[in-house]
Structure 1
Amino acid sequence: MKKVMLSLLVSALSVASVYAQKNTVLVYGSVNAESQKQVNGSKVNSFNFSPAVGYQFTDNWTAGLALTTGSMKATTSVGGEVKTSSFAVGPFIRYAMPLSDIFALYGQFNADILSSKTAGVTSNGVRGTFFPAIGVNMKNGFALNFSFGGLSFASQKPKGASDSMTDFKFNFGSGAGFGISKNF
């Protein structure tokens, strides 16, 4: 039951706005928390907070700045511990297309500068992420938002290393999230 509740918490706390209104400010973000306990007794706890703010310069286009900060603590079955902290900041661009008075489809691209520290080793890099989502307009500017995967590429280089680590993810349909938004 604990795993189900944590999974729902991770999915439910994603917040984003769908219905762009010209000359307004968009504020959205997400909060993710996860706790895993393995059969061998090891544990992993993580927390991420990702706020963003943007300006809706047309009825369809929004541009802004997104920030992500996170931490993770992994404990092995023999008592060893590894801590990781991460930070990302960068611009985003979003295109929203109303399908009706109730539904809208949007796509968003984020470009981030990354920084992390794991067991005293720092890494810096870049990441690009694209994700599509659907919004359902409720009432008084409130909307429910449903995302269903995305595409991302990241490259990070640990301090002192000669090579970068790269990560490519294509996960359309393999993950879903939802949130509540309000357009001010």
Structure 2
Amino acid sequence: MKKVVMSLLVSALSVAGVYAQKNTVLVYGSIKAESQKTSESNKVNTFGFSPAVGYQFTDNWTAGLSLSTESWKTTTNAVESKTSAFAVGPFIRYAVPLSDIFALYGQFNADILSGKTGGISANGFRGTFFPAIGVNMKNGFALNFSFGGLSYASLKPKGASESTTNFKFDFGSGASFGISKNFGL
């Protein structure tokens, strides 16, 4: 129950901000909690937290730092395995107002990755670009809608001779929304 309440509470603070207002600080993030049970002996529990903060140095440009941590606990036939992942890196965003209410923005994140599964650690990097639409509400709050993105990741397990790479293109295949807040300086 705590995970559900926490998930709903922080979902209200998820995804990204929209209007770049010069000399303001943008704060956004996401949290997720999931529990899946396919049978009495097969369960997966997931928890993730991803905050970000940026400085809006012009009316269109924002630069900042994002981080993300996620963990999974999988139980299959009474055998438990744990996985954890961590990412940190800068982001840059360009926003274009369409009116007093709507704006389009594109954001690029460059992350350093680290993770561990069953005692095997891995390190790598990821680049992600996503476009979004923002709806200005009031007092620096905005609703944000994203419709997929483009990403590339490379991850190399410790002791392995080669990296695993992943290219993902998913425009329009899913949507997410969230709320962000700009704080004036």
TM-score w.r.t. the length of structure 2 is: 0.90
Aligned length: 179
Pairing 1:142–2:145 present: no
Deviations 1:41-90 (A, max 9, x none): 411111111111111111000011111111111111x1111101111111
Q: Secondary structure of 1:14's match?
A: coil
Counting only pairs closer than 5 Å after superposition, residues 16-165 of structure 1 correspond to structure 2 as 16-39=16-39, 41-76=41-76, 78-165=77-164
Is the CA contact 2:66–2:90 (under 8 Å) kept in the aligned structure 1?
A: yes
Deviating more after overlay: 148-157 vs 135-144: 135-144
Deviations 1:138-170 (A, max 9, x none): 122221111111111110000001111111111
Is the CA contact 2:26–2:182 (under 8 Å) kept in the aligned structure 1?
A: yes
RMSD: 2.0
Deviations 1:103-153 (A, max 9, x none): 011110000000001110000000000111111111222211111111111
Structure 1 residues not aligned, in runs of 5+: none
Shift of 1:15: 3.7
Shift of 1:11: 6.3
Deviating more after overlay: 160-169 vs 40-49: 40-49
In structure 2, the CA distance between the partners of 1:164 and 1:154, relative to structure 1 (3 Å rule), is same
Is the CA contact 2:27–2:53 (under 8 Å) kept in the aligned structure 1?
A: yes
TM-score w.r.t. the length of structure 1 is: 0.90
Name the % identity.
Answer: 79
